[in-house]
Amino acid sequence: MELFTLAVSTLLIALTFFLLRRTSADSRLPPGSFGWPILGESVEFLFGKPEKFVGDRMKKYSPDIFKTKILGEKTAVICGPAGHKFLFSNEQKLFTVFRPHPMQHLFRSYKPKSAELADPAPPSSKTTDETKAIRQPGFLKPEALMRYLVGMDLITQKQLHIHCAGKEVVEFYPLSKTITLTIACQFFLGINNPERIARLVKNFDDVTVGMHCIMLNLPGTIFYRGNKAAAALRKELIAVIKEKKEAMAKGGPLHDILSHMIVASDPSGKSMPEPEIADKMMGLLTAGYSTVATTMTFLMKYLGLNPDIYERVRAEQLAIAATKKEGVPLDWEDMGKMKYSWNVICETMRMVPPLQGTFREVIEEFTYAGYTIPKGWKVYWTVSTTSMNPQYFKDPERFNPSRYDEGEAPPPYTYVPFGGGLRMCPGKEYARISILAFVHNVVKNYRWEVVDPNEQVEGDMMPEPQKGLPVRLYQH
């Protein structure tokens, strides 16, 4: 009996100790709510506006950090310029990259079954391959971009001519996507077949939407559509790889990223399997396609709604055109002269961020703003915690490109559409020159009115105009 009492007392003490420890650990966690069982707060995050989701909770819990559960993960949302600085400067020390589960699923078909069994953990830190592929060999370095620029200029001219010349009303969102994907297909894959590109557009759209969604694989769901589109893209990309290999065997040129990936081998001398190359190319194309197209589209909107700003951009571009002989394409020096146009692009990305934010995984427990975030949690950062804050951007609802003029630049870590630190978007310069080439050609040849100035913006993590942004065009 005595032994029984002793055992029960020991158990009770251990339980009390455990509960006390848990309560004290929980009290060190950031404020916030994990929402519903299983779903957490994913529905609110995905189907409300993500900036509203974050803004409401910053007001309710803390402007620095709050906890939530989204896309199946306990997540700390780290906010404000100090939060951005903390996150960007602790890459690979406290954090590593994390792709949400739908994204991991859509982009990892190449992983051999045996490897999956040996390594069942989510490959959060291993999904950086496409980044390595794009950062290391210098495909997006200025030397390479200088070569791409002429092609970007010519493709943009041609596409604008095909889709706009003689037309009264043009939907600019689909057109921007076609221009962007045509450019990316040329430089990433070395293909320029318009039918093939048109087929890819729809699939890339479905994959893009599927990257941030609830993983319900039933007909009609976003995830189901994303999966189907990813499979179709993979098939198409594998066909492109086979053709490329044949062309290379006959001595074809190695100008695109794909050819380099085909010849690249790992340290043991093995070349990459085709499904793996296909997935990496899919990752790259997805990262660089809708972001650029969205920026071009909303730029059309803001220039259409602000004739005085349009006139200033046009004057800048005509001055550049005046220094060139007819038919001579844009060069690197011209890009440096497009300062006001770049400010307009920056302001467009502030008003409508092409990518709201990204996730990290915590690799070492850390304390921030007095709260402790355990190892294994996810961290989410988003541009929206600073970009519409009147503390950093006076009159934030106003489209005002002059706010980036010298002497008026936003405070550090408040304007971060491309992220920052080690993980900063490797495609930033590519995006800059492709959008500047677009601005040059569109304002040189057209003036326009936005058909519906109040057209709704849809989309969760990546915004899009509900009706595709129809504009009424007038040729100069």
* Comparison of 7 and 146: residue with beta carbon closer to ligand HEM: 146
Q: Is 55 in the site for ligand HEM (CB under 6 A)?
A: no
Q: Is 97 in the site for ligand HEM (CB under 6 A)?
A: yes
Q: From residue 237, how far is each of 21, 194, 206 by CA, in Å?
A: 53, 15, 16
Q: Is 355 in the site for ligand HEM (CB under 6 A)?
A: yes
Question: How many residues sit close enough to ligand HEM to count as binding (CB under 6 A)?
Answer: 25
Minimum Å distance from CB 219 to ligand HEM? 31
Q: Is 295 in the site for ligand HEM (CB under 6 A)?
A: yes
Q: Strand 73-78 relative to strand 378-382: parallel, antiparallel, unpaired?
A: parallel
Adjacent-strand bridge partners of 67: 32, 76
Nearest Cα neighbor of 285 from 242, 256, 246, 244 is: 256
Integer Cα distance of 306 and 344 in angstroms = 11
Q: Is 134 in the site for ligand HEM (CB under 6 A)?
A: yes
Q: Is 131 in the site for ligand HEM (CB under 6 A)?
A: yes
Q: Is 297 in the site for ligand HEM (CB under 6 A)?
A: no
Interactions with ligand HEM, residue window 314-353 (CB under 6 A):
349
Q: Is 437 in the site for ligand HEM (CB under 6 A)?
A: no
The single residue listed with the structure tokens 């690197």 is 332
Q: What angle do CA 351, 448, 170 make, to 5 degrees?
A: 90
The single residue listed with the structure tokens 């650029």 is 292
Residue nearest to ligand HEM (CB): 427
- Give the range of 30-38, 214-222, 236-244, 286-294 binding ligand HEM by CB under 6 A: 286-294
Q: Is 296 in the site for ligand HEM (CB under 6 A)?
A: no
* Comparison of 129 and 455: residue with beta carbon closer to ligand HEM: 129
Integer Cα distance of 191 and 155 in angstroms = 13
Q: Any idea what DSSP says for residue 122?
A: -
The answer to whether 226 touches 213, Cβ cutoff 8 Å, is yes
Minimum Å distance from CB 438 to ligand HEM? 11
- Phi/psi at 472 (5° precision): -95, 120
Q: Per-residue contact track with ligand HEM, 147 to 186, x per CB under 6 A? A: ----------------------------------------
Q: Is 386 in the site for ligand HEM (CB under 6 A)?
A: no
Q: Is 417 in the site for ligand HEM (CB under 6 A)?
A: yes
Radius of gyration for the alpha carbons in the chain, expressed in angstroms and rounded: 25
Sign of CA dihedral 91, 92, 96, 97: positive
Q: Is 290 in the site for ligand HEM (CB under 6 A)?
A: no
Q: Helices 307-322 and 274-305: crossing angle, nearest 10°?
A: 110
237, amino acid identity: L
The residue within the footprint of ligand HEM, chosen from 57, 225, 314, 423 (CB under 6 A), is 423
Minimum Å distance from CB 134 to ligand HEM? 5
Number of residues assigned to the chain: 476
* Comparison of 301 and 423: residue with beta carbon closer to ligand HEM: 423
* Comparison of 62 and 387: residue with beta carbon closer to ligand HEM: 387
The residue within the footprint of ligand HEM, chosen from 76, 241, 425, 436 (CB under 6 A), is 425
The reply, when asked if residue 425 is annotated as ligand binding, is yes
Q: Is 418 in the site for ligand HEM (CB under 6 A)?
A: yes
Question: What is the maximum alpha-carbon separation in the chain?
Answer: 102
* Comparison of 111 and 135: residue with beta carbon closer to ligand HEM: 135
H-state helical runs in 185-306: 194-210, 222-249, 257-263, 274-305
* Comparison of 139 and 223: residue with beta carbon closer to ligand HEM: 139
* Comparison of 61 and 188: residue with beta carbon closer to ligand HEM: 188
- Phi/psi at 412 (5° precision): -55, 145
Q: What angle do CA 111, 214, 33 make, to 5 degrees?
A: 115
- Phi/psi at 37 (5° precision): -60, 145
Indicate the annotated binding residues.
425
Task: Please report, in range form, the residues annotated as the binding site for heme.
Answer: 425
Q: Provide the binding-site residues for ligand HEM, judged by CB under 6 A.
A: 97, 128, 130-131, 134, 140, 284, 287-288, 291-292, 295, 349, 354-355, 358, 417-419, 423, 425-427, 430-431
